[in-house]
Amino acid sequence: MSRLLAYTSPARGHLFPAVPILCELGGRGHQTVLYGLSGELDRPRALGIEAHAIDPRIEDNQIVDWQERFPPRAAASVLETFAQRAQLEAPDLERAIAAHRPDALLIDINCWGAGAVAQASGLPWALYSPYLLPLRSREVPPFGLGLRPRGGPLGRVRDALAARAVDLVFRRAALPSLGPLRQRLGVSEVHSFDELLREAPLLLGLTAEGFDYPRADWPSSVRLVGPMNWSPPQPAPEWLDELAEPLALVTCSTERQRDRRLLAVALEGLPQAGISVLGTSAAHDPETFDPPAGSRVVRFAPHDALLHRAACVVCHGGLGITQKALAAGVPVVVVPFGRDQMETARRVEFSGAGVSLSPRRLTPERLAGAARAAIELREGAERIGRAFARAGGPPAAADAFEELLPGAR
């Protein structure tokens, strides 16, 4: 059997999806090693995964796009952070390879330095993406702007101009530091995020067609294996039965964003519409919210235990909570605040599994209307849940990864 090393970025939403893949591979007899967020390593260790912290300086370099008001500048800020982290990831993964002598590598899509080292190492390697794959397609708009698919000559012109703008932001924000790093490692020059992703021999997309846009020109390296909806197991809270139905689960991101307003507006608007609220404030202090009688706000709660009670989920559009809700057959209201969330919102609309509401239009009345509309879309959510199940999950991801290993047919 082989020794496999996974390297992840400092985010729970990127660490947790790697865990079920490694558990599946470990169950097949492979030795598994995980590098990730220091405060979350006891949980994978309890599952038999050897776990180590990434360089603490990487954790210290947090995404600060929430400080930017201008969307292109916010996007550039994220890319700059990834490129800065890459300078530390590269030697960190080189040390890990020297210490563990792995036979293959599994790399987080946001770890650009680790990906470059993997490419230079000569080892079999794969990228995994906990968000929608930002690969170019003749059939899909360029990723990042949340554009609706549009055919015909005007659509092609729009998409070409948008692709040029997206690539320009990447080149200006990322390449001044990422380019010299890749050159030092002796790997190919890239000019766009799309080119960067196509370097990987295997690219695991943790979603499924039916939710993502269908397309005929996926690269041969891509496998869509469905979401990896693992989180640390926790019992349902004793107070859950005190909340009346219908119940909306309203979640904020675990990484700081401008989504505090989402929970505040939900607490004002949904109870007035007869929908009780259970809010998880995550990166925000739950004591700063004032829930009305019959609703509650906590920092964290076990989403798996809550979804069976939820009539809908209201969220910022992180793919993790969005797909976890849909996998449970629960429709979604997405209010996207940035990053990849506009793309998630479009897929929710496209799949008929929920509703999107612009943060510029976020009011108590509009959010209540969106929640009522989403509740009527449970059939669409259940259909997407079945598509996720058909994609295969951890066994499908492990099958694809094993095909990379020495001796695989």
DSSP 276-324: EEEEE-TTS-GGG--PPTT-EEES---HHHHTTTEEEEEE---HHHHHH
User: Locate tokens 């010299």: which residue?
Assistant: 180
Strands laid side by side in the 296-298 sheet: 296-298, 276-280, 247-251, 310-315, 332-334, 354-356
Per-residue tokens: 181 = 């790093």
Per-residue tokens: 252 = 């904020």
User: Locate tokens 């690539």: which residue?
Assistant: 167
Single-letter amino acid code for the residue at 378: R
| Integer Cα distance of 109 and 89 in angstroms | 13
| Cα 85 from chain centre | 18
| Integer Cα distance of 283 and 50 in angstroms | 28
What homologous superfamily does CATH list for 3-226+392-402? Glycogen Phosphorylase B; (3.40.50.2000)
Provide the strand spans (E) within 121-280.
125-129, 202-205, 222-224, 247-251, 276-280
Question: 3-state SS of 63-131?
Answer: CCHHHCCCHHHHHHHHHHHHHHHHHHHHHHHHHHHHHHCCCEEEEECCCHHHHHHHHHHCCCEEEEECC
| Integer Cα distance of 322 and 320 in angstroms | 5
Are the beta carbons of 300 and 283 closer than 8 angstroms? no
Mean pLDDT by 10 residues, the chain (409 residues): 95 94 97 96 95 97 80 87 97 98 97 98 97 93 90 92 94 94 96 95 96 93 95 82 89 82 94 94 88 90 86 94 96 92 94 95 96 97 97 97 82
Q: Provide the CATH topology of domain 238-389.
A: Rossmann fold (3.40.50)
User: Locate tokens 């404030």: which residue?
Assistant: 281
pTM score: 0.92
Query: Which part of the chain is CATH 3.40.50.2000?
Result: 3-226+392-402, 238-389
* CA distances in angstroms from 85 to 55, 57, 78, 368, listed in the order given: 10, 8, 11, 40
What are the phi and psi torsion angles at 399 (to 5°)? -60, -45
Confidence (pLDDT) at 409: 52
With a CB cutoff of 8 Å and minimum separation 6, the contacts of 161 are none
DSSP element (H, E) containing 393? helix 393-402
Counting DSSP H helices and E strands in the chain, the numbers are 14, 13
With a CB cutoff of 8 Å and minimum separation 6, the contacts of 250 are 262, 263, 266, 267, 270, 277, 278, 279, 280, 313, 314, 315
Are the beta carbons of 181 and 87 closer than 8 angstroms? yes
Ramachandran region, residue 293 (left: φ > 0; alpha: ψ -120 to 50; beta: rest) = beta
